[in-house]
Chain A
Amino acid sequence: MPENLFKLNAKEYILPGTRACQGCGLSLGYRFALKALRENTIVTLPASCLCVLHGIYPSTPVMIPCLNNSFASTAASASGIVAGLQALNKTDTTVMAVAGDGGTFDMGIQALSGAAERGTDFIYLCYDNEGYMNTGTQRSSATPMGALTSTTPILTKQQHKKDFLKIMEAHDIPYLATVSPSYPIDLYDKFVKAKKIKGTRYIHMYVPCPPGWGFETKDTIKTGKLAVETGVVVLFEIENGKFRFTGRSKTLAERGNRLPVINYLEKQGRFRKINIEQLNQQQAWVDVRWQEYLRRAES
């Protein structure tokens, strides 16, 4: 593991001038992910925020070859690239499918489940900004309870976030990890590791979204850190079934000094209408998972 940011691959694969929003958590995390994977990589992605980040024809800031595909088809597209490269004996290329939470939790779940069940040799990166942010902040099944979105504009979202990590773990894949752009070394490290593993690797990146979540663009990293400090986001990896806390979450697990969820929620405009009952439910949802992770880390 590189001990500081200066030890990471210095080469940039994203030139200045992306079309991402100011303060975009995805643009930070994606930059470090590509640094870890390096040149011999092909990316496939659906219509999404990343598609916007990649710019408008005929120019793109991203130096990695990239195939745009339709919304429901990201993991199937990766399957096709892998099969095509295999047929042509070009097996040393890393194939990464990248989709948002809408394209993963909702519309892309069939193709992803199929590809994972087939053991397709690729990395699937879900960048989770907890809603359809590219189309204007609509609710997805990744949106947390109590959040205002443009399709839950008055009553807030009534349901919990879908526990997609459990769904992916149930596919018995060799590697599953969570990352946050607020912790770039942990993120980089996991992509370096994932690159070396064969089979379906799933990486879940929580990406704070200033316009979608309602916080100032200067606070992206701070928001991502608060998510981890409160246990809303837990940094871990599951390698061949073995669970391990990583980075800041590991320290929190050891010291037991996790902050209450309210510290994270109160900083974001999207939770301004959350009621006390929803807040308690959110806290309970986080606590249950945290306890489960603690148990798994001990065993």
Chain B
Amino acid sequence: MSNVQIITGNQAAALAAKLCSVEVVAAYPITPQSQLSEILSSYVESGELKAEYVRVEGEHSALTVCISASTVGARVFTATSANGLLYMHEQLHWAAGSRLPIVMCCVNRGVGAPWTIFNDQQDSLAQRDTGWMQLYCSNNQEIIDTVIQAYRIAEAVYCPVMVCYDGFVLSHTMMPVDVPDAAAVKAFLPPYRPHTILSPDDPMNLNQVLFPGQRRDCEGVLRDGYMDMRYKLQAALEKAPETIRAVNTAFAEAFGRDHGGMLWEYRTDDADLILVGMGSLASEAMDAADRLREEGIKAGVVGIRSYRPFPKADVRHAFRNAKGIVIFEKSISYGYEGGLCSDLKAAFYGTAINAPIHNYIAGLGGRDVKARELVAAAKDSLAGFGQGMAEPQTTWLNTTTG
């Protein structure tokens, strides 16, 4: 029995946190995340959600509260955007280094200076190397479903998950969302029972200073040094795609919705030209692909759902027959190109995938991107590819350049 509600992305995320029975919430308001932290406050004050809500004095503390509460065994949630996420940066590393299954929503927003409150994905992309998994949502249904999946993934891998969705475009836009049944979510996501917690019953010193090399403990057992622990984090994330795919499959079986695991594909079966993106831009690319097909261009879309861990095997499969690739990104690695573009090229290295690739930077600081503009961009790319350009220069869409 479905329970479809017309809700914003922030409402979807708040509902998901409630359905996951989070035990500690710590958040600091920032546009466009604010509504999410407000809704969670009302859940806690009304008693709908039995959780401790710590109304912290800043984002650095928000994530610190989550880290420490998770360490003593509580399921925790936080959310932020843009400069709030950057203010957390130190603690992002701390959370992943501590191997804590924290789930956080990043309501994507452009980063100052200069100030913008509007959407792009520079904030979360800039956190790529913190050891967090990053899952991108392309609509509000994906937000609610991905937050629920994120807890199951995080608690299996012992690594934190950032659920990213576009500010305003999704956070403040109402869409029909099938809200999962609470009992079904409880069955899908059992209570958090970590293998290690900090407790007076079993005193230990967590995150202690260590030396570069391995050292023996008082019983003579050789224990990890810093680098061995870092390797274990990397090994866990390299294996995490298996968990992400398995959780997606289990979710599809339980709730009847399949969001694709590491990535999703749209009309790619016979596609010559594949458009790629993350989040709402990928969603919009589906509209563009339909229009391109109306004009006789066989276009399809790949939406990257998991940016970290990167879906290397999945993209090699999805792009195996591509004759042209157009990558739309809402962020830029300054001095080079879009980060997703670089990662895709690296994933194709040494394979038979040799399609020309055109990278577009689009929608920074909320600059509007229409489906017809994606269509025009894709046709420009095709024209360039037709003239033998294997790697046209990165193009800034709807921007005064030169």
- Residues of A participating in the B interface, judged by any CB pair closer than 8 Å: 39-42, 44, 51-52, 54-60, 62-70, 72-73, 76-81, 83-88, 90, 93, 110-111, 113-114, 117-118
Cβ–Cβ contact B215 & A56, under 8 A: yes
21 residue pairs A–B, Cβ–Cβ below 8 Å:
A42-B72, A42-B199, A42-B200, A55-B205, A58-B215, A59-B217, A59-B218, A65-B198, A66-B204, A66-B208, A67-B68, A70-B91, A77-B64, A79-B68, A81-B72, A84-B73, A87-B69, A90-B72, A110-B57, A110-B61, A111-B58
Cβ–Cβ contact A70 & B94, under 8 A: yes
Knowing A42-B198, A63-B203, the reply to whether A114 touches B24 (Cβ < 8 A) is no
Bound-complex Cα distance A39 to B24 (A): 25
B70: interface (CB < 8 Å): yes
Cβ–Cβ contact A64 & B203, under 8 A: yes
Instruction: Please name all residues of chain B whose beta carbon is closer than 8 Å to the beta carbon of A44 when the two chains form the complex.
Output: 68
The smallest C-beta distance from B118 to any residue of chain A, in angstroms, reads: 28
Cβ–Cβ contact B217 & A79, under 8 A: no
Bound-complex Cα distance A75 to B24 (A): 16
Closest A residue to B25 by CB, please name it.
Answer: A83
Cβ–Cβ contact A68 & B205, under 8 A: yes
B60: interface (CB < 8 Å): yes
Knowing A54-B205, A83-B74, A86-B52, the reply to whether A65 touches B218 (Cβ < 8 A) is no
Instruction: Please name all residues of chain B whose beta carbon is closer than 8 Å to the beta carbon of A42 when the two chains form the complex.
Output: 72, 198-200
B151-173: contact bitstring with A at CB < 8 Å (1 yes, 0 no)?
Answer: 00000000000000000000000
Bound-complex Cα distance A56 to B211 (A): 7
Known: A66-B205, A117-B57. 8 other contacts (CB 8 A): A56-B210, A76-B56, A76-B65, A77-B68, A80-B68, A86-B52, A88-B72, A93-B200
Cβ–Cβ contact B209 & A51, under 8 A: yes
Bound-complex Cα distance A65 to B218 (A): 17
Q: How many residues of B contact A (CB 8 A)?
A: 46
Cβ–Cβ contact A73 & B209, under 8 A: no
Cβ–Cβ contact A83 & B209, under 8 A: no
Knowing A76-B61, A88-B23, the reply to whether A69 touches B205 (Cβ < 8 A) is no
Bound-complex Cα distance A57 to B218 (A): 10
Cβ–Cβ contact B67 & A83, under 8 A: no
Cβ–Cβ contact A114 & B200, under 8 A: no
Q: Point out the residue from B67, B210, B217 that lies within 8 Å of A80, measured CB to CB.
A: B67
Q: Point out the residue from A87, A90, A111, A118 that lies within 8 Å of B64, measured CB to CB.
A: A111
Closest B residue to A94 by CB, please name it.
Answer: B200
Knowing A58-B223, A70-B94, A76-B60, the reply to whether A87 touches B23 (Cβ < 8 A) is yes
Bound-complex Cα distance A62 to B68 (A): 19
Cβ–Cβ contact B56 & A81, under 8 A: no
Q: Point out the residue from A68, A84, A113 that lies within 8 Å of B57, measured CB to CB.
A: A113
Interface centre among A39, A42, A79, A114 (most CB of B within 10 A): A79
B71: interface (CB < 8 Å): yes
Knowing A56-B215, A79-B61, A84-B74, the reply to whether A118 touches B55 (Cβ < 8 A) is yes
B66: interface (CB < 8 Å): yes
B51: interface (CB < 8 Å): yes
Cβ–Cβ contact A80 & B215, under 8 A: no
Cβ–Cβ contact B208 & A110, under 8 A: no
Closest A residue to B72 by CB, please name it.
Answer: A84
The smallest C-beta distance from B163 to any residue of chain A, in angstroms, reads: 20
Closest B residue to A54 by CB, please name it.
Answer: B205
B1: interface (CB < 8 Å): no
Bound-complex Cα distance A72 to B63 (A): 12
Bound-complex Cα distance A56 to B205 (A): 10
Cβ–Cβ contact B208 & A84, under 8 A: no
Instruction: Please name all residues of chain B whose beta carbon is closer than 8 Å to the beta carbon of A60 when the two chains form the complex.
Output: 205, 208
Bound-complex Cα distance A172 to B131 (A): 40
Instruction: Please name all residues of chain B whose beta carbon is closer than 8 Å to the beta carbon of A51 when the two chains form the complex.
Output: 208-209
Cβ–Cβ contact A68 & B207, under 8 A: yes
Bound-complex Cα distance A70 to B90 (A): 8
Instruction: Please name all residues of chain A whose beta carbon is closer than 8 Å to the beta carbon of B61 when the two chains form the complex.
Output: 73, 76, 79, 110-111, 114
Instruction: Please name all residues of chain A whose beta carbon is closer than 8 Å to the beta carbon of B86 when the two chains form the complex.
Output: none
Bound-complex Cα distance A41 to B198 (A): 11
Q: Point out the residue from B26, B202, B203, B209 that lies within 8 Å of A57, measured CB to CB.
A: B209
Q: Point out the residue from B56, B58, B69, B208 that lies within 8 Å of A55, measured CB to CB.
A: B208
Bound-complex Cα distance A159 to B204 (A): 41
The smallest C-beta distance from A155 to any residue of chain B, in angstroms, reads: 33
Q: Point out the residue from A54, A83, A93, A113 that lies within 8 Å of B52, measured CB to CB.
A: A83
B206: interface (CB < 8 Å): yes
Instruction: Please name all residues of chain A whose beta carbon is closer than 8 Å to the beta carbon of B71 when the two chains form the complex.
Output: 67, 80-81, 84
B54: interface (CB < 8 Å): yes
The smallest C-beta distance from B390 to any residue of chain A, in angstroms, reads: 46
Instruction: Please name all residues of chain A whose beta carbon is closer than 8 Å to the beta carbon of B72 when the two chains form the complex.
Output: 42, 81, 84-85, 88, 90
The 4 closest A-B pairs by CB, nearest first: A80-B68, A114-B57, A84-B69, A76-B61
Instruction: Please name all residues of chain B whose beta carbon is closer than 8 Å to the beta carbon of A54 when the two chains form the complex.
Output: 205, 208-209
The smallest C-beta distance from B129 to any residue of chain A, in angstroms, reads: 17
Instruction: Please name all residues of chain B whose beta carbon is closer than 8 Å to the beta carbon of A88 when the two chains form the complex.
Output: 23, 72-74
Bound-complex Cα distance A111 to B58 (A): 8
Interface centre among B73, B208, B211 (most CB of A within 10 A): B208
Cβ–Cβ contact B69 & A114, under 8 A: no
